[in-house]
Structure 1
Amino acid sequence: MHRVTLNDDLQVAEIDLSGLRLDTSGEVNALYDAIEAALAESGEELWFFVINYSDFRIDSDAWYTHHRRGKALNLGHSMGTVRFDMSEETQRQIERTAETESFDPNLFADHDGALARVAELPSKRRAKVVHDMGYSDAEFAKRISFDGAAEIMNVDFSNFVFHHSADVNAFYDHIEARLEETAVRWFFLINYEGCRIFEEAWVAYARRGKRLNERWSMGSVRYAPGSETEETIRMRAESQQFRPNIRNTREEALARIDEMKSEMAEH
């Protein structure tokens, strides 16, 4: 993506939003999808973000999505975020958000000032932040089961908490290994009842879930997500061109899988 420049020597990800106008949540989601993909391709999880907001405009209808995706990106990948050359309108909006979210917006008039501020921030990358692993492989194993007759892989995320990317990667490593053993594709039936996905985990969760679906899924149906999880899934679906297929109950989810099988048989 031409709007993301990575400088590994400075540990800086420069994100150029200058002259960009975003009118819809779908456009916002597409932008953040591209940024997340560029960071994932780098192989490094942690960066200082330097963001050029010159002449950047975002419609009020898209601001909430921008705030949610930006917060998740920062919590998942940022060692510090600095902004520069911002319009007065956007600056006022971010300063209002800063008052409610308790963060320093780090606003600067130019690129040099932003880089000078980054040089003052402590790096976490070299220390390689280590997350406490709260889950065992046995915990993951009991949450995955296969129904060969129905061609369904059951994924039980009920009452599970993804605190950070380490939780996500450990669970998805397990799922991928189990799927490799089967060597066939499945319909995914995912129970989200009581599941919590912290903002720090969402970027990794979305990336690993997309990869898993592309390789192994004939169709995925989700049921019983909480309102915040459902909102985030639907938000990301806007730009990633997948159907959320969210249902309230397991019975409704199974009925949707039957519909999907019928649709496939017709083509």
Structure 2
Amino acid sequence: MTYDASTLASLRSDAEAIVARYPDPRSGLLPMLHLVQSVDGYVSPDGIRFCAERLELTPAEVSAVATFYTQYKRHPNGTYTVGVCTNTLCAIMGGDAIFDELSEHLGVGHDETTDDGAITLERVECNAACDYAPVMMVNWEFFDNQTPESATAVVDDLQAGMPVAPTRGAHSVCSFKAMSRVLAGFPDGRANEGGLAGAPTLAGLKVARENGWTAPAPLAAAAGADGTAEGTPAAGEGTPAAGEPGSSAERKPLTPTDKGGSK
């Protein structure tokens, strides 16, 4: 590995803190991949070797995990990952148009980085924010109800080095490396920034309360006095009589002839 002594010592200290969380050290691989990404800006060959040596895995085993999850980057990433949701709802609300506009404006395609190293553009399958569609994320901070014009303004500010605030959540967007460290399990003290769930998220709850709707009782709570769930016939009720189709008396083990064989 080509890490200098200071970087290697810091990595080892952080890795020990990660491994201590788990009864089986290899369970710490996912956060450790984020850790090396927070140092290198991607999961580098040195990072893979570091994880493999510390967790007593082979580099191939580490690479198999790193290539499975899209949050792990296998080539240098930009300071900011701009992910545009182009899944069904966001797409029909304008997500495809936003991605196309940003791609042309920045001169890059999916999973490509601008020449200044500022932005890596991605198509994202779902940002789990359909109530704010179309949605864009910058280092996994939400930018809701976007348009091609508003999204372009965001990336222009990012490239200019200006502070950018997400629509909700943290008060500002941090770097890709800083976010990777948070995902490795080292809080940055910003977890409680931002407001609570917004009106679109709570709309269904509001309608339910206005109409007095409640969730149905669990099946176990709806069981009858005889222990059977409501709608389930008690013993002897609605079951076929002996000799009727479907009764246990009518059923018999299959013979070789029944199975298509010979006696």
- TM-score normalised to structure 1 length: 0.26
Q: Higher strand proportion, which one?
A: 1
TM-score (norm 2): 0.27
Relative to its length, the structure with more helix (as a share) is 1
Larger Rg: 2
